[in-house]
Amino acid sequence: MHFEYQIEGGNFTRAGYASSEIKKKLKQLNVDLGIIKRTVVATYEAEVNVVAHAYSGTIYVDFDEEKVVIKLVDEGPGIPDIDQAMKEGFSTASSTVREMGFGAGMGLPNMKKNADDLQITSEVNKGTTVVITMFFKKEAKDL
Amino acid sequence: MTVKELKEKLDLTIYSGEQGLDNEITGGYVSDLLSDVMGNADAGEVWVTLQTHKNVMAIASLKDMAAIILVNNHKPEEDTLAQSNEEGIPLLGTAMTTFEVTGRLWELIKK
């Protein structure tokens, strides 16, 4: 199964829509609730990052029997130093975004904590690609 | 305890999401940082915050939270109300500060 969702940079009123749709699909597939919860956290954070930092983005979701792969491709400023961005508390969010309660530097650490596999590649002034993989069977994580 | 019982005990205002008044409360989470709630809150909890924008509802829904309490007379924005009604997650309000309402919540729902 393949699904795609568009994300509009700066439009916080739509933030979370794709995560919510993905959550519904996982529920329909009777995926373990703990896995759904972790997928939701990782996907929402990734989605909000595109809204908060990029100009636009697309989420590509691919389900198969063992896993779901959620790939977020954005056009945006990119991340110059991914290691630094992964640090808890590091944020480049605007003051407006912070006042909303976002931009506390917890998004990427939340993604790392909850995703079974997280891959981030980025090119400055071009964009960032985030790939979140979640395995439906817990054992698969240790393979 | 249900959201309705909590509403009565703490004399909370109901702004929206009345369909969810029978939601069962299993605990609480207090934070104004959305990623903190996203990462650490759990299903069935009541969330105490001063954030009034729509993203609060998105998070409460994604986390299957029982209800939201807005402190210090903060009023929800229009689209926040709309989503609360859509999701059936009650949006409640109080004049109490975060400190006071949290203390009273703890007394009511501590295990």
Predicted complex ipTM: 0.91
- Determine contact, residues B94/B12, Cβ cutoff 8 Å: yes
- Residue range(s) defining the domain that contains residue A75: 2-138
Check CB contact of A6 with chain B, cutoff 8 Å: no
Q: Residues B77-90: pLDDT tens digits? A: 999 999 999 999 99
Facing residue for A23 by CB, picked from B39, B53, B62:
B62
Domain assignment present for residue A96? The answer is: yes
Average pLDDT over residues B36-46: 97
**CATH number of the domain residue A24 falls in:** 3.30.565.10
Facing residue for B34 by CB, picked from A17, A40, A102:
A102
- pLDDT at site A139: 54
The fraction of chain B above a pLDDT of 70, given in percent, is 99
- Residue range(s) defining the domain that contains residue B42: 3-109
Confidence class for position B110, pLDDT limits 50, 70, 90: confident
- pLDDT at site A96: 92
- pLDDT at site A137: 81
According to DSSP, residue B21 is labeled T
Domain assignment present for residue A143? The answer is: no
Closest of A23, A130, A122, A127 to residue A71, by C-alpha = A130
- pLDDT at site A142: 52
Distance CA A48, CA B7 (A): 32
**Per-run averaged pLDDT (10 residues), chain A, 143 residues:** 96 94 95 96 97 97 95 97 95 94 94 97 97 82 50
Domain assignment present for residue A20? The answer is: yes
Domain assignment present for residue A37? The answer is: yes
How many Cα atoms are found within 13 Å in the side-chain-facing hemisphere of A60?
6
Check CB contact of B52 with chain A, cutoff 8 Å: no
Q: How many domains does chain B have?
A: 1
- Determine contact, residues B2/B12, Cβ cutoff 8 Å: no
DSSP characters over A30-85 = T--HHHHHHHHHHHHHHHHHHHHH-SEEEEEEEE-SSEEEEEEEEESS--S-HHHH
- A111-140 residues touching B, CB cutoff 8 A: 113-114
**CATH number of the domain residue B26 falls in:** 3.40.1390.20
Q: How many domains does chain A have?
A: 1
